[in-house]
Structure 1
Amino acid sequence: MRATTRAVAVLTFAVVLSQFFRSYLAVIAPEVMQELSLTPAMFGWLSSTFFLSFAGAQIPVGIAFDRFGVGRPVTALLGLGVVSAGLIAVTHSYTLALVAQAGLGLACAPLFMALVYYASHHLPEQRFVQTITLTSAIGTAGAFMAAAPLGWATYLFGWRSALAMAALLTLVTLLGVWRFVRDARPAGQVPESAGETVRGCLALLRVPALWTLIPACLVLAAGITFRNAWGGPYLADVYAMDAVQRGEAMTVASLCGLLSAFAVPLLVRRWNAKRIASIWLAVSVLAAAALTAVPDGGVVPSVALIALLFTIGNIHPLLMAQGKSVLDPAVRGRGFGLLNSFVFLGYGIAAAGFGRIAEAAGNAGLPPAGIFAWIFAAAALALLLGLVPYLFSPHGGQRGGQPGAC
């Protein structure tokens, strides 16, 4: 059990790092756009490249977990992350920045899923949901690091120096995983041919219960992207905030996400995952609708509503817990990968799609507030479309982690 605790601790720190790389562009977006001469659409692609590569890696990573365990795949991909973070810190080329963002996406792709997969095989059922929700909450510290601390570091040393430090932390994480995460393929699992692996993945798409979870996974990004990418441009364009002010505003959003994330392990002791996630999705729809109606209603209410949208990411481990309840242990890695691929495919679609909306609205002559009203409207619609099928999802991840409890 001590070895399991150490492994979970190291993987939790890896999730912190992943959250940082998902979020850092939101604070330094104007500086990056100016230095690399990016249009809004180009910035949208820069942000979405991370999430598209992240999404594309989920099922292959899940297959690797089913075959080799967690340690070796995570160590290898973190090596790519060290190189990619270093490249971001030094490049002046938009093309190389896209390549580096794709590399960071691949490096971060296994980190949260590694934690969920490892916990699902090494912890008893009653501890699984509480553990992944708690460690997910701790992981949101990475988003906090990508807020005011990154804003101040950018102000004092420049964003490139800050990214160089992130590359060093990635190396430290790699060494920790190599040293402490020593697992192997789950006992009793029979090796598969490539054809059997492909057929097994396709079979997952025929599980009806997963299709009640997939839309909710896909639309999480419609809220979170305002913390990870579009919150910074919104505050800069509508409220003329500088890097430090944006960092402080994003810190507020991150603190809300952090505090609400720590509430999730307490909530699952009283209510099932489906009830918690359904209410959270509904409230997020209302927050996006409010920003659509009044996109320039003042800094305080705008930051508060962005913070509320950001917290939608806290239901991610609840969706994964529901997925665990319908996945056979032999295919759990690729099943988690399937759900996660839709989560981060949503990030890519949202980041790039919002960029296209911003550019089209700008070309139509709309002021900044009008541009972001259309973006918030798209977010509200997406969240609503995720909520409706989710209402028919299974009651997995129940109160106290006990299957079948209501």
Structure 2
Amino acid sequence: MRLILSPGILSLILGYTMSQFYRAFLAVLTPTLSAEIGAGPADLALSSGLWYISFAAMQLPVGWALDKFGPRLTVSTLLALGGGGGAALFSLATAPWHLHVAMVMLGIGCAPVMVGSYFIFARTLPATAMSTAGGAVVGIGSLGNMLGAAPLVWLIGEIGWRPTMIGLAVVTLMVAATIFAFVTDPAKLASDQPKSSLRGLLKVRELRFILPLLGVTYAASACIRGLWAGPYLTEVFGASDNLIGWVTLGMGIAMVTANLSVGRVVRLFGSDKRTSIANTLLLVGVLTSLWLFPGTSLTLSAILLVMVCISDSSYSLIMAHGRAFIPQHLVGRGITFLNMVSIAGVGVMQFISRPVYLAASANHAPAAAYSYIFLFFLIPLIIGLVFYFFSPEDGHV
């Protein structure tokens, strides 16, 4: 806990808060962007997917940069250029494709923030402490999801969405400067350590049954919270911006609570693997309910959407599970590779969800169309869970 409360880690948590905000804020902007620049749900699905794809594409270069330059320079530089620049460009958008470019920049800027803190943890903490430390960072950083809900709706109502984005660009630059000022890079490995390479990482056989679930587990909460919750509540129940803001705020609170509690829950279940299985089974049940009862009532749907995000701690759990099998000299590339698999899964599923929505909405009423969206996230989750049952225990007790 002392490490997490250090100025360097706290500054990285601020950066991760911005990352969580930027991956989620489109949900509450759906009506505004549709009215002002003609960006509908399908356009925003593409924009959100591009954020995740650019974020994932940067993971291997970020892993190399973390090993060579350390998290201080890597994170602060990319966050300033991509994050600050992307937010500024977003504020100037007059067409949907402008949003696409801005979200690509934001994805690049946010790419190193989380793995920067994980890199420091992996070099300075025992593997058994990773889920607790990572859960704390994700939990606190998930406040960005909450800021991207009702508070964002209020701010946009007060000053407009363009001035809001300009202000966010300034804040992002300030956070990047704070990271540069306070982060201390961990000591470099001794020269006699084996050479780090992606080929060496791919030889870690224990990861093969972990990666399928890692690639899909975060997609449900990220995509539904970050994009589909807003259009779903609007088109099926006629929800207002304010109501969408409050529901997504509840989803953000669920993310924070779940991740901050992950250490205690792991101690209860006995390992990261068993806790991940319990989390995933809960999410399977919730998505099944949304699939079968998408238009029953606004109250039921709001509760189920919040419950989707209770399972959000699976990300930090499976990351910690995978980290337990990565040799020390492969930590930089290993952590970023695991993160790449997770985020790429979100991006791919976000892209595919767009044609699923278009096809379903062309042939079905809104409630039935969104049931296909929830089924789309449910099926890969079940497949990933089947693989994960065969993964080795991490030994975390």
Alignment of 1:330-345 (within 5 A): 330-345=329-344
Shift in Å at residue 190 of structure 1? Answer: 6.7
Paired with 1:312 and 1:224, the residues of 2 have a C-alpha distance of 11
Paired with 1:208 and 1:307, the residues of 2 have a C-alpha distance of 36
Percent identity of equivalent pairs = 28
> Equivalent of 1:143, from 132, 135, 145?
145
Superposed CA deviations along residues 154-212 of structure 1, whole A, max 9, x for unmatched, are 222222222222212211111111101131662215799xxx76xx2133233322121
Paired with 2:137 and 2:184, the residues of 1 have a C-alpha distance of 19
Out of 106-115 and 210-219, give the one that drifted further. 210-219
Say if 2:258 and 2:311, in contact at 8 Å, map to a contact too: no
Q: Are the structure 2 counterparts of residues 33 and 344 from structure 1 closer, same or farther at C-alpha, using a change threshold of 3 Å? A: farther
Shift in Å at residue 150 of structure 1? Answer: 0.8
The letter of the residue matching 2:206 is: A
Out of 91-100 and 101-110, give the one that drifted further. 91-100
Match of 1:384 in 2: 382
Say if 1:291 and 1:302, in contact at 8 Å, map to a contact too: yes
Match of 2:243 in 1: 245
Normalising by structure 2, what TM-score? 0.94
Q: Are the structure 2 counterparts of residues 189 and 217 from structure 1 closer, same or farther at C-alpha, using a change threshold of 3 Å? A: farther
Paired with 1:189 and 1:25, the residues of 2 have a C-alpha distance of 46
Alignment of 1:269-288 (within 5 A): 269-270=267-268, 271-288=270-287
SS in 2 for 1:269: helix
How large is the RMSD of aligned CA atoms in angstroms? 2.0
Q: Which blocks of at least 5 consecutive residues in structure 2 are unaligned?
A: none
SS in 2 for 1:304: helix
Is 1:263 equivalent to 2:261 in the alignment? yes
Paired with 1:290 and 1:331, the residues of 2 have a C-alpha distance of 41
Normalising by structure 1, what TM-score? 0.92
Alignment of 1:23-62 (within 5 A): 23-62=24-63
Paired residues, number: 393
Is 1:307 equivalent to 2:306 in the alignment? yes
Alignment of 1:5-404 (within 5 A): 5-80=6-81, 81-125=83-127, 127-183=129-185, 186-189=188-191, 200-219=197-216, 220-270=218-268, 271-364=270-363, 366-396=364-394, 398-399=396-397
SS in 1 for 2:335: helix
SS in 2 for 1:183: coil
Superposed CA deviations along residues 376-402 of structure 1, whole A, max 9, x for unmatched, are 111111211111111122322713xxx
The letter of the residue matching 1:372 is: Y
Paired with 2:49 and 2:321, the residues of 1 have a C-alpha distance of 27
Q: Are the structure 2 counterparts of residues 4 and 148 from structure 1 closer, same or farther at C-alpha, using a change threshold of 3 Å? A: closer
Paired with 2:3 and 2:260, the residues of 1 have a C-alpha distance of 23
Q: Are the structure 2 counterparts of residues 370 and 143 from structure 1 closer, same or farther at C-alpha, using a change threshold of 3 Å? A: same
Paired with 1:167 and 1:42, the residues of 2 have a C-alpha distance of 22
The letter of the residue matching 1:253 is: M
